[in-house]
Chain A
């Protein structure tokens, strides 16, 4: 909870005449299509706050989404944004990031899009440590198509294609991406707005493959099919049943149906990116004949 106002002059209010997300939004397309009590809009606020706070130049910021409710984020952000095919935001983003290393590429998509149909791409981009930020909104279900079971649906939870409850083990996404090679892994819920905004900012500034899992309510499908109340009830649950354990081992991050949710920053390490390795290795092997790819940044850093 935020402390009381400290002084009479507040930088956070300077020149502010609108919602903090307004500069980021295609306001002419509002209202958005997300349900009352859906957490995706909340995550977009955190994204806006992260961009503002970290001073990331928005000209170079690109959002790539897949298909699904979270996939609609690309269409609402006033940036160069791409609404691609189901599961394939990550390879598209890889093409952007490698072709122009100056771009700051963010993949913003849902749990089904990224870990089911997109699973193969998720693991390889993490393995390669491609310089991407992946924001995965996990609402434990396939929302847009009417509430089907997905790889993150907890065991025993119901879904339209698991009407008697799921009997599949669910993915532990932080563990998955850490195992594959991600250099930054964090999980927060939409009830943890400040921590989430900070994590998104860190992830976007991080060199390499960063992954932020956002646990979010789905009132219309997941909550309703599992009799968990509405979006607000899920948010209260997140607030009251989350445990912050930074640097917790990722194998302890499984989420059971209505179980405890461990949140925090679990991985934050340094490793050369795909592009750095490509340039270093080919330079080593080919010497003078090699043409490096990617211009150094304005502060002299090699392209990553």
Chain B
């Protein structure tokens, strides 16, 4: 998928950007895990995502987000086959940034 300079023309109506955002919530994109499939860009309901012009180490174009358009609906998180895009609540991020819930890494 090639990077887009602007959102796809007239394929869908963009929902108006939300004025009141939950505090401390943001979208995280793990660029190195991305394989550039484009699912997140296509299925984002507010066209907040686009593939960047940058390359990751594997040569794919990871997405970039326009945060003011993002409504944290988590569709991109659900649809991403690489587990590489997700919403986090920074108010609850444990020290070390990556503990998640009950799962553990390593072992």
Contact = CB atoms under 8 A, between A and B. Distances in A.
- CB atoms of A and B under 8 A apart anywhere in the complex? yes
Interface of A: 1-5, 7-10, 12-25, 27-28, 30-32, 34-42, 44-46, 49, 58, 78, 190-191, 193-194, 197, 230-232, 235-236, 239
B89 interface: yes
Contacts of A38: 81
B77 A45 contact: yes
A42 B80 contact: yes
Contact of A36 (B36, B45, B97, B106): B36
B89 A45 contact: no
A44 B78 CA distance: 9
A16 B92 contact: yes
A191 to B, nearest CB: 7
B78 to A, nearest CB: 4
Nearest to A20: B77
B80 to A, nearest CB: 7
Contact of A15 (B25, B81, B101): B101
A13 B73 CA distance: 11
B48 interface: no
Contacts of A22: 83, 100-101, 103
A239 B75 CA distance: 14
A28 B88 contact: no
Interface residues of B, number: 50
B99 A8 contact: no
Contacts, number: 150
**A-B complex: 3 closest residue pairs judged by Cβ atoms:** A41-B81, A2-B73, A23-B103
Nearest to B105: A27
Contacts of A230: 1, 37
Interface string B75-87: 1011111111111
B92 A13 contact: yes
A4 to B, nearest CB: 5
12 contacts: A7-B22, A8-B23, A13-B72, A17-B88, A18-B99, A19-B83, A19-B85, A19-B100, A23-B101, A46-B78, A193-B75, A231-B37
Interface string B12-56: 000100101111010000000101111100110100000000000
A280 B32 CA distance: 55
B18 to A, nearest CB: 5
Contacts of A16: 87-89, 92, 101
B88 A13 contact: yes
B11 to A, nearest CB: 10
Contact of A232 (B37, B72, B103): B37
B83 A45 contact: yes
Nearest to B21: A5
